[in-house]
A and B are shown apart, each in its own frame.
Chain A
Amino acid sequence: MAILVKRVPSLKIFELTIPFTKINGTHFPLVDVSFFTIYNDWFTVPLIFDTGAEDVVLKPDYEHVFPAGKVTSVGGIGGAGGHDAIETQSKVEFLGRQISKCSILIDKVPAPALIGGVAGRQIFKSFGFGFWENARELYVSLSPS
C-alpha cells in the first residue's frame, strides 16, 4: 500500500532587510561588523556578505589594532591559489551578538575602497539569511527555524 506524502512548502520568516549599497555603480551586500581592538575600543566597519568565505577577512590596513597573529595558509575560490595570510582573534559583534574568540584573517581583499573586507560564514552561524539579487536585498532571521 502506497503512502501518500503531501508536500508542504516550508515557510521562512525574515525579520530584517538589509539593502545593498551602491558604490561606483555596483551594488554590494554590505553588513556592518564590529571588532574589539587591543586599545580596548570597538569599531564598526562595512564588510561584503560572503557565503563563500569561512572567516572574516580584513584588509592589511586593520592589522595593527588586533593582537599579533600567526601565519596561516588560506585558499581562494574552491581552495585554489593557496597563499599565506595572518590569522588573529578578537571579539566580534554582528547583529547584536558577540563571538568572544572569532578568527580574523588579515589578507588582501579585492574589495573596493571603503569596504574593509568580507564577512564569512563563521559569524553567520546563529542567523538565517535570504538573498534576492534582483531586489538587491539581503534578508536576515535572528532566530531561524
Chain B
Amino acid sequence: MNYPTNSATSHDEFMSALLMNVHNSPSGAAALANNYPQGFAYTPASFAIEHSEDNGDPVKWVADNFDELLNKYADQWVVVRNAHILVHASDLPELLRMAADVGIKKPFVLKIERPPAKTWRTAFGYTR
C-alpha cells in the first residue's frame, strides 16, 4: 500500500502557532489543538485508504464477507481489488503468475482459510 504523505507543510500556519504555544504554555497548545483538530489529523484514515492501490480496505472487505468467501474460496489464495476477487489460485506462486498476467505488479494477497480452532487473547504468544 502506498501511503501518501499529506503534509505538514499545508499546516504551516497551524504548526507555527502550535510551536509558539508549546513553548509559552503547554495548556495553550492543548487549547490550540482543540481549535484546530485537523492540525493533528495530517492524514485522516479515509485519506490513507482512498489513495492506496485499492479503493477500499481489502482486508476489511474480506473480513466483512468472510463466510460467503470461505464457501467459494476455501484454502484459496486471492487478490482483492475494489471489493472484488480479481484472481484466485490454490497456491501462491500460481496466484502471482495470474496476477502478473492481468497486469498487477504488486498484488495485495490474502489466503481465505478457516479461522484457527484455537483462539488467543494475546496475539503474540503461543504454546507449541
Contacts and interface: CB of A to CB of B under 8 A. Distances in A.
Chain A to chain B: the 3 pairs with minimum beta-carbon distance, closest first: A32-B1, A19-B45, A110-B126
B3 A39 contact: no
Interface residues of A, number: 52
A53 B124 contact: yes
Contact of B1 (A11, A37, A44): A44
A43 B106 contact: yes
Given A9-B29, A64-B92, A96-B3, A16 B60 contact: no
A140 interface: yes
A71 interface: no
Contacts of B106: 34, 42-44
A43 B113 CA distance: 18
A19 B52 CA distance: 13
Interface residues of B, number: 57
Contacts of A83: 128
Interface in B59-112: 59-60, 62-63, 66, 91-93, 96-97, 99-100, 105-112
A118 B99 CA distance: 24
Given A65-B96, A113-B113, A22 B60 contact: yes
Contacts of B49: 19
Interface of A: 8-9, 11, 13-19, 21-24, 28, 30, 32, 34, 37, 39, 41-46, 48, 50, 52-53, 61-62, 64-65, 76-77, 81, 83, 95-96, 108, 110-116, 118, 137, 140, 142
Among A19, A45, A65, A113, the most chain B Cβ lie within 10 Å of the Cβ of A113
A114 B96 CA distance: 17
B45 A43 contact: no
A18 B48 contact: yes
Contacts of A18: 3, 45, 48
B41 A37 contact: no
Contacts of A108: 126, 128
Nearest to B105: A42
Among A9, A15, A17, A21, the most chain B Cβ lie within 10 Å of the Cβ of A17
